[in-house]
Each structure stands twice: as structure tokens, then as C-alpha cells.
């Protein structure tokens, strides 16, 4: 009997149902929002605006992409500020 990938997916899903998902951080969006992926069934979760874990739907993926862009431009600006202020102090 050959085990098809479909059957294998079913087994891993059953494993998660029985023992729970084994989530690992797959992406850090901001310091508060992260994306998680189950290492067995590849189910994805994310942190919602209330700090709870919720299923990573296409909508949340979009929100996270926007959040990531805002967060990165913010930290970039913060870095520039630090560099500028330290340069100012040296003068």
C-alpha cells in the first residue's frame, strides 16, 4: 500500500488534532505582531489587534504587510534620528 501525500496530510492533521499544533514564529511583523506556522500541518496564525492569536486569513496577511511597512519605515526614521542627534552632539 502506498501512502499518498494526501494521506500524509491527513495523518499530520490528525496529529495536530490529538496533540495540538506546534507553532513556530514564521515572520516577525512588528515588535507585537508575529505570524506563526504549525510545523506539522502548516496552519498559520497571526496576532490580531487585541493581541490574541487568530487564523492568518488573506485579509490579515494584507494588514500585516501594511503594518510591516509602517513599522519598518518608523524604525528607519528612528535610526536616522539617532544618527542625526548624535552627529549634532558631536558638533
Which of the stretches 39-47, 50-58, 67-75, 77-85 binds Zn ion when contact is defined by CB under 5 A? 39-47
CA distances in angstroms from 13 to 17, 23, 41, 79, listed in the order given: 6, 13, 6, 44
The answer to whether 29 contacts Zn ion (rule: CB under 5 A) is: no
Q: Which of 29, 35, 36, 40 touches Zn ion by CB under 5 A?
A: 40
In the region spanning residues 2 to 21, those forming contacts with Zn ion, defined by CB under 5 A, are: 16, 21
30, 67 in Cβ contact below 8 A? yes
Q: How far apart are CA 38 and CA 44, in angstroms?
A: 6
Minimum CB distance to Zn ion smaller for 48 or for 55: 55
Binding site for Zn ion (CB under 5 A): 16, 21, 38, 40-41, 43
Amino acid at each position: 500500500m502506498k501512502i499518498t501525500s494526501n494521506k500524509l496530510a491527513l495523518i499530520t492533521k490528525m496529529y495536530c488534532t490529538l496533540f495540538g499544533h506546534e507553532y513556530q514564529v514564521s515572520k516577525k511583523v512588528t515588535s507585537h505582531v508575529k505570524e506563526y506556522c504549525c510545523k506539522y500541518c502548516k496552519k498559520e496564525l497571526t496576532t490580531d489587534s487585541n493581541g490574541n492569536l487568530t487564523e492568518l486569513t488573506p485579509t490579515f496577511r494584507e494588514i500585516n504587510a501594511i503594518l510591516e511597512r509602517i513599522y519598518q519605515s518608523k524604525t528607519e526614521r528612528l535610526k536616522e534620528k539617532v544618527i542625526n542627534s548624535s552627529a549634532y552632539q558631536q558638533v
